[in-house]
Amino acid sequence: MLLFYCSRPFAQAHTRHLSTFSPSFATLLQDCKSLSDVRRLHQQILSRGLLHPHLPTHIVAAYLGFDSPSDALAALERHAPTTAVFWWNALIRYHVRHSNLNAALSVFRRMVTHGTRPDHFTFPFVLKACGELPSFRRGSAVHAVVCSNGFESNVFVCNALVAMYARCGVIEHARQVFDEILQRGIGDVVSWNSIVAAYVQSDEPRRALDMFAGMTVSDRSLQPDAVSLVNVLPACASLGVSLQGKQVHGFAVRCGLFSDLFVGNAIIDMYAKCRMMDEAHRVFECMECKDVVSWNAMVTGYAQSGYFSDALHLFEKMRGENIRLNVVTWSAVIAGYAQRGLGLEALDVFRQMQLSGSEPNAVTIISVLSACAAVGALLQGKETHGYVLRSLLNWNDNDNGDDLMVKNGLIDMYSKCRCASASRAMFDTVPLAERNVVTWTVLIGGYAQHGDANDALELFSQMLQDGNPKPNAFTISCALMACARLASLHFGKQIHAYVIRNRYEAAMLFVANCLIDMYSKCADIDAAQTVFDRMPERNSISWTSLMTGYGMHGCGENALRMFDGMCEAGLVPDGITFIVVLYACSHSGMVDKGIGYFNSMGKDYGVAAAVEHYACMVDLLGRAGRLDEAQELIKIMPMKPSSVVWVALLSACRTHTNVELGEYAARQLLELESENDGSYTLLSNIYANAGRWRDVARIRSLMKKTGIRKRPGCSWIQGSKGAAAFFVGDRSHPMSDQIYNVLAILIQRIKVIGYVPETSFALHDVDDEEKGYLLSEHSEKLALAFGILTTPPGAPIRITKNLRVCGDCHSAITFISKIVDHEIILRDSSRFHHFKNGSCSCGGYW
DNA sequence: TTAGGGTTAG
């Protein structure tokens, strides 16, 4: 950058006789065409001893003009104290403008060392450098220099002190300096603007608004300027106080400040953040002069207020009007798509961005990662990771937490793309002290939803032990989801206690909904109901969560009562609500009621039946043995049946032994999902039940040929001595001998009272080596035997199974519940079964 | 002095 531009060629000037008259040197310095010209001339001046007292300033100016701060500094030091303070200031300002903050502070130190007294221009630059580093220690050292040089009553310097302390996050010091300004009676508009900005930066918008209001009250001669408005409007936005925002808007119009581009943009942003897009649009239309920020504020406003199509429309318009899109525009559109789960569209926009030559930054990358996570696009996720590694050097320059957010995004992306090891590896690269609450939460959530929920709880315990950072509502929700998956009532209760002790009021609705879900899935429906009853505020998720709980426990009537209660409370049922209602009807044998709800959901509630609703109906009709109607419904459904629909039909064929229809359903299912192990198992069971052993063998060899293995059944139990998991024929448990003994005795005893093994279920297992396993070695029976061995009489035994409970086990456990002093609660992949005194709550609808 | 981003429930 040239500070002085002169068209006269240097060569021409240089050919003239070098005068001993120094002003000519000044002209020659201005005429220099390159840094080496300046150096040469400087050297000549020194060697001839022709240094005029004014020349050093020209020399420094020339060096800065050719972007050589090191030469400038050398000249300043060499000629100090001849050079004016003005040129020390110029060098400090040069470094601050180029973000070389440490260099700026170093020049300041040298200046003081060389005996040049700083002036009221020096301190604002130096304080800005301290604030931007930020370094409270150096900032307060400079404050001391301010005082020792007698500048504590200079408003220019004091305002800069306020800003510095705010940037360093020490709002109390900023406030103290501001109060001293007022006491001295030297405050100006900038002082008030600085303290308002300080509170906004410190995330105290309420106090920012108070200070703004206090401005004119304390001094009637003060009139807010454009900066005051630009400072206060974000405070209105973050508090959502649109009324005050509107007043500021009115004030801007009355005082002629509305025409200021920054003010206009801040008003749009305020309305957009208050979700008042009509107002924002009016302001946008009124603005005579707009820039890309105005457009971006509108695009993001629409995207975040749920009007994404308007955002896209505006985005297209920007392109049509050749407005130069910047990284914010692109990132906002990518984020908008990603947040709506439209990952492929987001990735497409990202491609367009790259083609346009716009350089992605950390925010863009985070949005792209979230898009990859939304659609499980591991390949693109890995590519983005590669991009991050290549760009990391650039981002580390302004280390402001972006780096950690990108890493959090990567952990989340790998988790959601079911790449647990990569996710964990990324987590492990973040040093313990640098992990924030999101770092922990994304991994805990990843394990809870896509990985091993035990790992989630282990990580959560580790987080609590470390004590820093503290879990937030997101973390708690993820941990509760893990408990729900594992049916770990014990751990779930502990987290509930933690929630009560640590007050999560701000997010209590969300957390309470998770508690309802956790208690429901841990078979403590009464506790779920209690949480629900004590909630000061409920939303439709609260109602549906409890409704699901009742549905899973076969309490269809209660579920339907919840549905009525929800409608009475003025909440509108949606698609998911009806899935839950139909599920509850299906699992309680309320076929006609289910048909009634199915028919009325569109007619009375305006909810269109989706493929999931049809699947529920096929399940409902199928369980009740109305297979023809189920088949008929599949024929007339307006969309292509999904695999869930065929699984429902196939299961019904299994229960009601309809070989022909079962074969048909299995064919359809295998066309959609050729690797679905469950469909082979179900079909093989149907054949076995019908005595068609050759077909059973055919399926078995087909599976062997295609390499499809039956997912192993696994049951686990939360006993008094901790959790224990069992696979079929499992002999790995230390108490294995005792378990098998107890089981043999139980089977013997229930045979006496009428239990007959249902041998068709023995053929679940298709591998030859598994053939020999007896029914008595099924995982749920082993878990039950272990439960009986380790649970005190009278206490309930809770078992969880990853697949559907086997029919023989269901029958055996029903008999066992007659001869033992325990209620047995079994959760399988479909619902709960409460066994007590020889009967099961499912009443056969399992 | 203005705009954009990551984690949770039925």
Q: Within a domain: residue A759? A: yes
Which pLDDT value is given to residue A719? 58
Residue in this structure with the two tokens 């690269």, named with its chain if needed: A429
> Are residues A746 and A774 both part of a single domain?
yes
CB A67, CB A95: distance < 8 Å: no
Q: Please give the protein residue whose CA is closest to the C1' of the nucleotide B8.
A: A474
Query: What is the three-class DSSP state of A726?
Result: strand
Q: What is the CATH number of the domain that holds A675?
A: 1.25.40
Which pLDDT value is given to residue A684? 83
Instruction: Give the up-direction half-sphere exposure of residue A724: CA atoms within 13 A in the CB hemisphere.
Output: 27
> Are residues A703 and A750 both part of a single domain?
no
Q: Please give the protein residue whose CA is closest to the C1' of the nucleotide B4.
A: A328
Which pLDDT value is given to residue A19? 40
Q: Within a domain: residue A315? A: yes
> Are residues A829 and A723 both part of a single domain?
yes
CA-CA distance, A101 to A170, in Å (whole number)?
A: 19
> Are residues A318 and A228 both part of a single domain?
yes
The nt closest to A543 (CA vs C1′) is B10
A390-CA/B5-C1' distance, Å? 20
Tell me the residue range of the domain where A600 lies. Answer: 538-609
Phi, psi (degrees; rounded to nearest 5) at A723: -90, 145
A284-CA/B6-C1' distance, Å? 30
> Are residues A292 and A400 both part of a single domain?
no
Q: Within a domain: residue A671? A: yes
Cis bond leading into A471, ω under 30°? no
* pTM given for the model: 0.81
A123-CA/B6-C1' distance, Å? 38
Q: Within a domain: residue A575? A: yes
Cα distances from A710 to residues A682, A704, A759, in angstroms, run: 11, 10, 19
> Are residues A582 and A630 both part of a single domain?
no
A362-CA/B5-C1' distance, Å? 8
The nt closest to A193 (CA vs C1′) is B1
> Are residues A473 and A511 both part of a single domain?
yes
Enumerate residues 6+ apart whose C-beta is below 8 A from A408. Answer: A436, A438, A439, A442
The nt closest to A403 (CA vs C1′) is B6
> Are residues A829 and A720 both part of a single domain?
yes
Query: At residue A422, what is the residue type?
Result: A
Query: What is the three-class DSSP state of A263?
Result: helix
Phi, psi (degrees; rounded to nearest 5) at A800: -125, 140
**Which tokens belong to A191?**
């002082």
Chain B bases closer than 7 A to any CB of the protein: 1-10
A509-CA/B9-C1' distance, Å? 9
Total structural domains within chain A: 6
Domain-ending residue, one of A430, A445, A471? A430
Domain-ending residue, one of A295, A324, A353? A324
Other Cβ atoms within 10 Å of A643 Cβ, number: 18
Q: Within a domain: residue A798? A: yes
Enumerate residues 6+ apart whose C-beta is below 8 A from A466. Answer: A432
A261-CA/B1-C1' distance, Å? 11
CA-CA distance, A584 to A545, in Å (whole number)?
A: 12
Cα A466 to the center of its chain, rounded Å? 22
The nt closest to A292 (CA vs C1′) is B3
The nt closest to A448 (CA vs C1′) is B8
CA-CA distance, A384 to A402, in Å (whole number)?
A: 15
pLDDT along chain A (846 residues), means of 10: 32 36 75 91 84 80 90 87 81 88 92 88 92 89 92 92 90 93 91 93 89 86 90 91 92 92 94 92 92 92 89 91 90 91 91 89 91 91 90 56 89 94 94 93 95 93 91 95 93 94 87 96 94 94 96 94 95 94 94 95 94 95 93 94 92 88 88 79 80 83 82 78 80 91 91 82 46 66 92 90 86 92 90 90 73
CB A333, CB A349: distance < 8 Å: yes
Enumerate residues 6+ apart whose C-beta is below 8 A from A765. Answer: A710, A728, A771, A773
> Are residues A633 and A741 both part of a single domain?
no
A367-CA/B6-C1' distance, Å? 8
CA-CA distance, A359 to A368, in Å (whole number)?
A: 13
A467-CA/B7-C1' distance, Å? 18
The nt closest to A303 (CA vs C1′) is B4
The nt closest to A272 (CA vs C1′) is B3
Which pLDDT value is given to residue A721? 54
- CB-based burial label for A351 (10 Å; 0-12, 13-18, 19+): exposed
> Are residues A465 and A533 both part of a single domain?
yes
> Are residues A826 and A733 both part of a single domain?
yes
Enumerate residues 6+ apart whose C-beta is below 8 A from A294. Answer: A261, A264, A265, A268, A284, A287
Q: Within a domain: residue A802? A: yes
Cα A486 to the center of its chain, rounded Å? 24
> Are residues A261 and A316 both part of a single domain?
yes
Domain-ending residue, one of A430, A456, A488? A430
Other Cβ atoms within 10 Å of A223 Cβ, number: 12
Q: Within a domain: residue A298? A: yes
